[in-house]
Structure 1
Amino acid sequence: MNRSALALALAGSLTTAIASAAFAGPIPASKMVGNEKCYGVALKGQNDCAAGAGTTCAGTSTIDYQGNSWKAVPTGTCTGMSAGGHNGSLEPLKS
């Protein structure tokens, strides 16, 4: 393999690794200790993980306050949050 091909392969591998890190899998269980899933309060691209169609995992929500995406929030605070014209919900919302 010549140097140009090697450099290109290395650059491609690095790009893939960075992209994979940006869209990591489910959040660690340790983050959920003392927290609950709160639907409909995450900003676009800031949800914690998958919840249904339109989300595959952390950071994939396509709109602000997407009803089927959730954010981990301190237990007992979700339903008191107001975002996007509705309160947070412990169950997925219709977007």
Structure 2
Amino acid sequence: MNKQALLRTAFASVLAVTATSAVMPAYAQAAKEKCFGIAKAGQNDCANASGTHSCAGQNKVDMAPDEWKYVAKGTCEKMGGGLTADAAKKMADKKMMEKK
């Protein structure tokens, strides 16, 4: 194989991998939803709802109602979380009342 054909093949391979990588996360997210109130300390997926940080892995406490993780659609509430930060806070408050 000559040098030019090899370069074309390599370039086409890089383009194919890049295109596939760009599509897969969007597809994967379509089957997921944000679930607030279930992330353990240091395991949140991105910025929190209250705006105190903007990166994954920065939450300081377990199950904070303003922290979230991606979960499979339909499983959030089964895990004890909420689809919004307000819903997660209400669930956390309810659990605290049940403990008393």
Q: Same fold (TM over 0.5)?
A: yes
Change (3 A) 1:39 1:58: same
- The number of residues matched between the two structures is 63
More helix by share: 2
Q: Which runs of 4+ in 1 moved over 6 A?
A: none
TM-score for both structures, normalised by structure 2 = 0.55
Change (3 A) 1:53 1:75: same
Highest CA radius of gyration, 1 or 2?
A: 2
In structure 1, the residue matched to 2:40 is: 43
More strand by share: 1
CA contact (8 A) 1:55 1:69 kept: no
In structure 2, the residue matched to 1:90 is: 83
Distance in 2 (CA, whole Å) between partners of 1:30 and 1:59 is 23
In structure 1, the residue matched to 2:66 is: 68
Q: State the identity as a percent.
A: 43
Residue type of the alignment partner of 1:90: L
TM-score for both structures, normalised by structure 1 = 0.58
Distance in 2 (CA, whole Å) between partners of 1:31 and 1:58 is 18
The answer for unaligned runs of 5 or more in structure 1 is: 1-27, 82-86
Structure 1 vs Structure 2 CA RMSD: 1.9
1:53 is displaced (CA, Å) by 3.3
The answer for unaligned runs of 5 or more in structure 2 is: 1-24, 93-100
CA contact (8 A) 1:46 1:60 kept: yes
